[in-house]
A and B are shown apart, each in its own frame.
Chain A
Amino acid sequence: MAIAKVYGIETEYGIQVVGNADGNPTTASSVLINSYVSQLAGRVGWDFEDESPGRDARGYVREGSMPPEVETHLVNTVLTNGARYYVDHAHPEYSSPECATPLELVRQDKAGELVLARSMAAARRVLPPGEEIVVYKNNSDGKGNSYGCHENYLMDRTVPFARLARQVTVHLVTRQIYTGSGKVGCEASPSPTPAFEITQRADFFEEEIGLETTLKRPIVNTRDEPHADATKYRRLHVITGDANLAEVATFLKVGVTALVLLLIEDDVLSARELVLANPVQAMRAVSHDVALTRPLELVSGESITALELQWELYDAARKYAEERGLAELGPEPAGRQLLERWEAVLSGLESDPASLRHQLDWVAKLELIDAYCARHNCGLDDHRVAALDLQYHDVRPARSLFQRLDMERLVTPAEVEAAVTSPPRDTRAYFRGECLKRFGASIVAANWDSIVFDLGDDPLRRVPMMEPLRGSAAHVDTLLDGCSSPAELLRRLGA
């Protein structure tokens, strides 16, 4: 049965040391994050107690698969907004706190960009003159190396995983038409005459389903690590998406995916199940189809475009919403706004994709590149085009090309600024963030589902948070305001 959606998004940023040819990306990532957190008042490490990324949702581990390793020795911190900021696979990674609406997720994702921008400024102050650490919010270096932007969705555990995997695949493949960040040059089969493709990530998917995230990447990732009560919940870990700078793209990426998951939880999609005949091929075909006209083959024998498949999902979702509302996506107008924007963007893609140049990353980038090539009379193989492609994602305000494009905002700068230090109010991230703000000196570690306090004499005390929607401001504000010390908080919690 459909349950309230809780979301998070993790972004691995590309990192470059300018002015030092020997710059090591892992060291640079540590310097970057340390520079940021050392200027903050307190600092709390991550608690690895409940990490088990090798657990497979299908109940087994396929022979030859490589469960990801947990790197416990690298910089790893929790911020007062409830986010995790750490070094992962030679990249700085920012994991947003848990959010209960798509718009809140957009706000927290943009706050992450601000944290990275401030980290770069902080790092400049400690690095030798002429050296600078620069980060990019993208997913590929254009040379065959990719790094991820993963989404997480809380789901009802009773939904059979096989059906979930089968039914979500068509959405993950076809949503690329609005989630793509655009890229020049295919990395799966490079060509001397590069073409523009819709997404950064599609080239890197080789399997339909699996546990891996760093090689032979699967469209449906089976990591089974709920970070919540495992008897009730599943956390669907989606690894196919591009990191977006456009707020509308992020909003649709997480919002529509959450809505499709509601349809799957309530088993609405089985009536007309849309199953792609070749999902991996389709993933790439959609990404390379800038005209949005290429038909995809379904196992039923039908041929249908990605855009038409999105319209099918939209029609099912609208009917579902009319019958029973979309309370699981947050208080209205959250669900209505999502449906309206989804429809408007699909209509725009259908009639005139260029009309979405202020809403979607790939359209904005394509328009910019086309205009640039027209002015300079050059082709897509020009180095300046590759530079433009990369610099679109530069997170430094003075260098970012994205920030010059007058893209539509869904959240105000003031709202984003607040999210740099304050947690979302409607999930357990609130309790985590507020405890860190108020009692940071007595907290030795925290993670998604617990906080560990050190009160001095006693053994360390762990406060579990197995319910992602408990610990919100409505639940704990009175409690927190009534506690003058962490000892009192623990006493009243009975921990």
Chain B
Amino acid sequence: MAERELKKRTAPQKDAPEVEEEAPATSERGERLKAEIDDLLDEIDEVLEDNAEEFVRNYVQKGGQ
């Protein structure tokens, strides 16, 4: 188990530079991420099956392996 605990300590270090960055950069990245997700959700809203309830209800499969 010793090795594992070592890993547990080292794993977060990979994220360390992000934590140390200036606040404006972090919020800029946050904004960009949010904009990306917004674009994605716009796209999903467009492509998602129109009648969700019927679409899901009609999807019935015969069991397989």
B residues in contact with A391, CB < 8 Å: 47-49
With A347-B14, A350-B8, A401-B44 known as contacts, the answer to whether A14 contacts B59 (CB < 8 A) is yes
A88-B64 in contact (CB<8A): yes
Q: Give residues in B with beta carbon < 8 Å to A.
A: 3-4, 7-8, 11-12, 14-15, 37, 40-41, 43-44, 47-49, 52-53, 55-56, 58-65
Binds B, one of A107-115, A381-389, A468-476, A484-492: A381-389
B residues in contact with A89, CB < 8 Å: 62-65
B residues in contact with A399, CB < 8 Å: 47
B52-A384 in contact (CB<8A): yes
Min CB distance B12 to A, Å, is: 5
Q: Is A242 an interface position by the 8 A CB rule?
A: no
Q: Is A15 an interface position by the 8 A CB rule?
A: yes
A390-B4 in contact (CB<8A): no
Complex CA gap A148/B55 in Å reads 22
Complex CA gap A330/B11 in Å reads 28
Chain A residue nearest in CB terms to B50: A387
* Secondary structure class of chain A's binding surface, majority of residues: mixed
Min CB distance B6 to A, Å, is: 10
B47-A401 in contact (CB<8A): yes
Complex CA gap A91/B52 in Å reads 23
B64-A148 in contact (CB<8A): yes
Contact partner of B61 (CB less than 8 A), chosen from A14, A308, A371, is: A14
A residues in contact with B12, CB < 8 Å: 351
Q: Is A146 an interface position by the 8 A CB rule?
A: yes
Instruction: With A91-B62, A372-B44, A405-B40 given, name 9 new contacts (CB 8 A).
Output: A14-B61, A145-B61, A146-B64, A350-B11, A351-B12, A371-B41, A383-B56, A388-B48, A398-B47
Chain B residue nearest in CB terms to A347: B11
B residues in contact with A347, CB < 8 Å: 7, 11, 14
Min CB distance A206 to B, Å, is: 13
**Contacts A/B (CB < 8 Å), 17 sampled:** A12-B65, A89-B63, A140-B61, A141-B60, A146-B63, A148-B64, A148-B65, A214-B64, A347-B11, A351-B15, A368-B40, A375-B41, A387-B52, A390-B59, A391-B48, A398-B47, A401-B48
